[in-house]
Amino acid sequence: MKNNNKNQEKLFNKAGIMPYFFDERSLKKYAPLAIKKAIFKTFEGHISVPSFPLSPVQILIENQPHFIRLNLADKAHRLQGKWTLTLENNVVLTGKVKNNVIQLPQDLPLGYHQLVLNYSGKQAECSVIVAPTRCYQPTALKEGKKLWGTFLQLYTLRSENNWGIGDFGDLKQFIQNLVPYQADFIGLNPIHALFPANPGSASPYSPSSRKWLNVAYIDINQVPEFQQNAEAQAWFNNADTQATLAKVRSENWVNYDEVIPLKLKGLRFAFDYFQQKTTALRQQAFTDFLKQGGESLEVQATFDALHAHLMATFSEQWGWDFWAKEYQSYYSDTVQQFKQANQETIRFYAWLQFIADEQLAECDELCKAQNMTVGMYRDLAVGVTGSGSETWADKTLYCLNASVGAPPDVLGPQGQNWGLTPMNPHILQQQAYRPFIELVRSNMRHCGSLRIDHIMSLLRLWWIPKGDSAANGAYVRYPVDDLIAILALESQRHQCLIIGEDLGTVPKQIVSKLKNAGILSYKIFYFEFDKEGKSRAMDDYPYQAMTTLSTHDLPTINGYWRGYDFELGQRYGVYPNPNILAILQRDRVEAKRKILARLQENQIKVEEGVDETLTSQVSKKFNHQLQTYVSNVSSGLFGLQPEDWLDMTEPVNIPGTSMQYANWRRRLTANITDVFADRDIQQLLNTIKDNRKN
């Protein structure tokens, strides 16, 4: 029995299933045997990487000795062979194996190279990736300057022109309004592809694909083919269409079920015109885009077209795992027949990606024209849903019978199951990290920075057997050093600053890795205390960090100060244990007391009625005082969100809920014009500009 258990543990370890982890109180938490067995099954036998005599991929760091040791069963055997290394620029280097080692030149250029080994009439191949030690940082950060900016949930923006959801046109307007305040960056929620045929799947953190864009963000008014199409304009100016637009613009929550079909109808008018009457130059640009997108774009467009067809024909076709078996793989004969019969519809969905990419690029160019130090920063979600286009087309890479999340902790006593499907780290290595390389490349397009949600996923992810509760999981290891090296290489090539969201339980072994790689940490003011337990002083924050007061997963400043998140949590069943809720409430009161003490130390006088209790008053004035105070932080980046400029209460998301609360729908309480016309907000932004620039 003991031997059997030892063998099992060896297999778990080989798969990368970690036997234990340290929780937020530094207590060692062991994974139960039954859970490890269940997770092991989700690998479906793919728990190792073929490595004889070469691994599929080898990461080398620039300007260090470069040698690759051959993997042989008989280490005493001396393999005779010749190697050829074809560099990215097609320069070819050759040499011989010596003492079972391939010795490569130390001055190899950065990039992706291909190694071929010929031995005993056989051939082995290996991708050789030469990476820098650090990610890109703009000159201003190297000079120690203090930058500031804002981050948006793009869909929440209101304007006189959008179609009931914030879009790239609104983003341009927002960027232009920031110019007088010399903002250095503007951050976005993940803008990954969702499910146009299933508008209710609205979470930007649960995408169909992370490689393509959410077409809901297209500003239809600025699509040339929509402007030029008389039929489109007649439909747009029709009383019924205008009444629908007025309705969805006025609503306080994004009405996806009305907005998405409306936008798709308008875009179809535009596409029909594009097909018939657009210029040869524009047709060529689209042809080039199709060629560049390759099979990945074809998969995405086919998925969206097929999904729309099935939703119109049958009920409850939410994703490919609900479809008839013959449709459940992109490569099936039935899907290929669908492609042949529906080429124009598939072309329409590919064209939507073309338009979205074009408009995102225009936003990026506008940031550059305004000389923003960083410009736009995009957000990379942790993973994809198991029912979207990426898993539909690559079922080998993804472990479909597992999902990822977070273990129980004080903030989330039930743990979190994000419903995202994990990549198999062994298959990722077998594929020479190509899926990861393509992923970061696509998300570094048209931006100056990339925020990586839950960056600890480069080291480990909390896997949960599909259908189980979040508490019944275990951590699975990922090849962290290799992934950081690739991230550094792509970051330098794209001149893209990397921000790592490292909140929650952060293992010690990744902290120094991220710091040494030049990846910015992520600090939330509410959670920062010094060794004496006081609210952390503004000059005590690390420079290599982004500091903010709140995020999409936390209450607004107003909500935090009033304890509104506890009220909502109780309403929606986030806190089933009253004792844990009482501890959290007590901790909140204590944290607020410490924050108020720091404000008093800094001669910031708060209004009467604002105190540490959960019945405290909160005013716009106090809200702005707090933001102004934190803008003095010593971190290189300081960010804040328009919800807090407006002193809003309602959160955009309540972690631990799905259907109970209208997550990812809450809009801003004012349109963009009124936000920037607000005298209090003007004063706030001017003060922050002065604090960061002086």
Residue-range definition of the domain harbouring residue 112: 63-131
Q: How far apart are CA 64 and CA 128, in angstroms?
A: 14
- Is residue 109 in some structural domain? yes
Of residues 25 and 568, more confidence is placed in 568
93 touches 84 (CB < 8 A): yes
CA-wise closest residue to 61 among 163, 2, 133: 133
Averaged pLDDT score across all residues of the chain: 96
Q: How far apart are CA 55 and CA 126, in angstroms?
A: 6
Structure tokens at 677: 């016309």
Largest CA distance in the chain: 85
- Is residue 426 in some structural domain? no
Residue 506 pLDDT more than 90?
A: no
For 668, how many CA atoms within 13 A lie in the half-sphere containing its CB? 24
- The torsion angles phi and psi of 427, rounded to 5 degrees, stand at -70, -35
Separation of first and last alpha carbons in the chain:
69
Is the torsion defined by CA of 587, 589, 596, 148 positive or negative? positive
- Per-residue DSSP letters for 140-154? HHHTT--EEEEEE-G
Angle at 384 between CA 378 and CA 385, to 5 degrees: 140
Structure tokens at 560: 């935090």
- Is residue 100 in some structural domain? yes
CA-wise closest residue to 543 among 452, 623, 638, 406: 638
Q: What is the pLDDT of residue 616?
A: 96
Lowest mean pLDDT among 75-79, 239-243, 275-279, 388-392: 75-79
267 touches 236 (CB < 8 A): no
Residue type, 160: E
How far CA 439 is from CA of 390, 483, 484, in Å, comes to 11, 12, 13
Q: How far apart are CA 19 and CA 2, in angstroms?
A: 17
- Is residue 98 in some structural domain? yes
- Residue 121: enclosing H or E segment and its boundaries? none
Q: How far apart are CA 490 and CA 112, in angstroms?
A: 11
Q: What is the pLDDT of residue 26?
A: 84
Q: What is the pLDDT of residue 694?
A: 82
Task: Please give the distance of CA 240 from its chain centroid, rounded to a whole number.
Answer: 38
> Peptide bond before 53: cis, by omega within 30 degrees of 0?
yes
Q: What is the pLDDT of residue 411?
A: 67
Q: How far apart are CA 108 and CA 117, in angstroms?
A: 18
- Is residue 342 in some structural domain? no
Residue type, 45: G
Q: What is the pLDDT of residue 3?
A: 65
Q: How far apart are CA 496 and CA 515, in angstroms?
A: 16
pLDDT, tens digit, 9 for 90 and up, residues 438-489: 999 999 999 999 999 999 999 999 999 999 999 999 999 999 999 999 999 9
Q: What is the pLDDT of residue 1?
A: 52
Predicted TM-score (pTM) of this structure = 0.96
Arithmetic mean of pLDDT, 183-200: 98
Q: What is the pLDDT of residue 51?
A: 86
- Is residue 120 in some structural domain? yes
Q: What is the pLDDT of residue 108?
A: 96
- Per-residue DSSP letters for 472-491? S-EEEE--HHHHHHHHHHHH
pLDDT, tens digit, 9 for 90 and up, residues 330-360: 999 999 999 999 999 999 999 999 999 999 9
pLDDT, tens digit, 9 for 90 and up, residues 591-609: 999 999 999 999 999 999 9
- The torsion angles phi and psi of 352, rounded to 5 degrees, stand at -60, -40
Residue 80 sits in a domain of what CATH number? 2.60.40
Q: What is the pLDDT of residue 497?
A: 98
Q: How far apart are CA 460 and CA 510, in angstroms?
A: 10
- Neighbouring-strand partners of residue 28: 22
The string over 272-305, giving b where at least 16 C-beta atoms fall within 10 Å of a residue's C-beta and e elsewhere, is bbbeeebeeeeeeebeebbeebeebbbbbbbbbb
- Is residue 443 in some structural domain? no
- Is residue 464 in some structural domain? no
Q: What is the pLDDT of residue 574?
A: 87
Structure tokens at 73: 């069963």
* Per-residue confidence band for 537, with pLDDT thresholds at 50, 70 and 90: very high
15 touches 38 (CB < 8 A): no
Residue 639 pLDDT more than 70?
A: yes
Is the torsion defined by CA of 681, 687, 688, 690 positive or negative? positive
The runs of H, that is alpha helices, within 370-433 are 389-393, 425-430
Q: How far apart are CA 497 and CA 524, in angstroms?
A: 19
502 touches 521 (CB < 8 A): yes
Structure tokens at 529: 């205390």
Q: How far apart are CA 694 and CA 646, in angstroms?
A: 26
Residue type, 260: I
pLDDT, tens digit, 9 for 90 and up, residues 550-595: 999 999 999 999 999 999 999 998 888 899 899 999 999 999 999 9
Residue type, 29: K
Q: Cβ neighbours of residue 96 under 8 Å, at least 6 residues apart?
A: 81, 82, 83
Residue 242 pLDDT more than 80?
A: yes
* Per-residue confidence band for 69, with pLDDT thresholds at 50, 70 and 90: very high
Sheet holding 474-477, edge to edge: 384-385, 416-421, 402-406, 460-465, 474-477
- What DSSP state is assigned to residue 666? B
Domain count, the chain: 1
